[in-house]
Structure 1
Amino acid sequence: MSGRTMVAWAHKNAISAASQKPGRAMLPACLFAASFAMFVTAFVDPAPALDAPAVRAPETSPLPMFKNPRAALRAGLESYHAGDASASVAALRYAAEGGEALAQWKLGRMYADGDGVGRDDAKAYEYFSRIVEHFAEADPDPRERSMAANAFVAVGLYLRDGVPSARIEPDLDRAFELFRYAATYFRNADAQYHLARMYLDGAGVKRDLRQGMSWLELAARKGHPQAQAVLGGLMYSGEAGGGAAQKARGLMYLTLARDAVAGGAGEQWIIDAQAKALASASDADRRAAVALLEDYLRARN
């Protein structure tokens, strides 16, 4: 029965009931029929003058749908490289939850740097840790080795220093293990440098100058400026050789480091160290350093 048919039926019954004698038994039925008619009229077929404006459901943008995590990864990276970092987050999260390590790494970097998202060390640590857990047991594809090594170093740095705001407690032993793994298995220069610093500082491991120098040299040969600067400073001062200074070679490494950072933020200590050594070097040491530098660059090229 349609709405208008129900209304007509209700009114008819109401009129019929009203024509009966208003006995005590009939009055409730009359009132009920009339009330029912009003109820149907109001809620089934309201008068146009009383119509309320239609209320639309709030429009929400549906979450993007992807064929699979790999497709989401491609979409997220495309958005990011197109300059829309914030739009890439949903796709990258979808890919990360689907096990795409590159998406996990990219989100980790974005949260660590505040790139397209608010900086959040806790989330960065979480995404990097997923990669560490995965590649601690599985061999990475050759294209993934650099990314995996970067994640090991990132987690190592978080654990070496701790981040109270992200509730990350310092764990020097674990940091040392992560640096050593990435330094040996991945041959990563960052890991080699940080491992060397732990040996030199006796942080998380017994101080060992020889081990520290060995790891510094490996990283320095890969062009790591911080490793070159620390190694050069130790050689120039004589600490590296038990008192026998290698001023020319030390000045060479300091100069390489100085040229690599070129005034980069946070690397003023490298610039200052090279300037101090250059000012105190003899003319002979400077000439020898230039000759060593030319040989080094020639061999590298």
Structure 2
Amino acid sequence: MYQRVLSASLALCLIAPSALHAAAPQWSESAVADRSATERLAIALEHSAEGAYTEAHEWLEAAADAGSSEAKIHLGYFHQHGRGVEQDGERALEWLERGVEAGETGFALRLAWDYLEGELVDPHRERAEHWFQHAIEHGYHEAHLGLGSILLTDVVGGDERRADEARAHFEAALDEGLVLASYYLARMYREGLGVDRDPERAMHYLEIGAESGDPQISSVMADWLEEMRHEL
């Protein structure tokens, strides 16, 4: 009896997982019609897990049409990576924007960096600033660093009109515990970038970074701090 049960169990293990449950429905207007956005998304993700990306894309579009913000984000990734559709950076960002505008605010920061770095489309500073600001308004404090760094680039280039705004973003980031902001603030005060040069204040921010315990920041800031101490 035990051997028969064991043999049956082994046989089940050899059956493809898709054979153990009903296959995901194929897309058709009639198949879509009576299903909610949530159901359409679930079917799309099931097809995607099976590698049936063209079918998954059809269901994602149906889910997006029914109001699924999550489906819009997935469509962005499908267009970015060419899954079931031709790879298209502009369409990818278009779908990501639709998803963020529909409520997936956590992807606003990703959008901002995509526009700033120009990996999917040509760099677009205005769009980057827009989405960094959108992320800030929805509580994603890392966006202060991104927006501040854009503005600081202008200051370094000689345009100091938005120096106060850059500094305010770095201060806001530091208030939220993002110690990388201390590097930017230290640099501004050490080099007099849009502010009066103030070595003591620069050292204050360097000390914050050096004592942060962050392995990516503390050693660099400590070295810079020691260098400034020798200068004074």
Q: Same fold (TM over 0.5)?
A: yes
Greater Cα radius of gyration, structure 1 or 2? 1
Aligned equivalent of 1:188: 140
User: In 1, distance between residues paired with 2:50 and 2:147?
Assistant: 33
Deviations 1:37-60 (A, max 9, x none): xxxxxxxxxxxxxxxxxxxxxxxx
Aligned equivalent of 1:276: 223
How far off its partner does 1:62 sit? 5.8
Deviations 1:164-210 (A, max 9, x none): xx5x3444334333333433x3243233222212221229x864221
CA contact (8 A) 1:85 1:115 kept: no
- Residue correspondences, number: 194
2:174 maps to which of 217, 220, 227: 220
Deviations 1:37-93 (A, max 9, x none): xxxxxxxxxxxxxxxxxxxxxxxx96255622112334556788xxx4846844544
1:249 maps to which of 195, 198, 205: 205
2:68 is equivalent to residue 100 of structure 1: yes
Distance 1:276 1:70, change over 3 A: same
How far off its partner does 1:244 sit? 1.4
CA contact (8 A) 2:76 2:95 kept: yes
Distance 1:108 1:207, change over 3 A: farther
How far off its partner does 1:278 sit? 4.6
Aligned equivalent of 2:184: 230
CA contact (8 A) 1:105 1:131 kept: yes
Aligned equivalent of 1:150: 107
Normalised to the residue count of structure 1, the TM-score between the two structures is 0.48
The Cα RMSD (Å) is 4.2
User: In 2, distance between residues paired with 1:86 and 1:278?
Assistant: 53
Aligned equivalent of 2:13: none
Structural mapping, 1:5-154, within 5 Å: 63=26, 65=31, 67-75=35-43, 84=49, 86=51, 89-90=56-57, 91-109=59-77, 121-131=89-99, 134=101, 144=103, 147-148=104-105, 150-151=107-108, 153-154=109-110
Question: Quick one: which amino acid aligns to residue 173 of structure 1?
Answer: E
Deviates more, 1:222-231 or 1:185-194: 222-231
User: In 1, distance between residues paired with 2:105 and 2:211?
Assistant: 31
User: In 2, distance between residues paired with 1:276 and 1:181?
Assistant: 36
CA contact (8 A) 1:201 1:207 kept: no
Deviates more, 1:100-109 or 1:223-232: 223-232
Q: Tell me the SS of whatever aligns to 1:95.
A: helix
The structure whose RCO (Cα within 8 Å, separation 6+) is larger is 2
Question: Quick one: which amino acid aligns to residue 26 of structure 2?
Answer: L
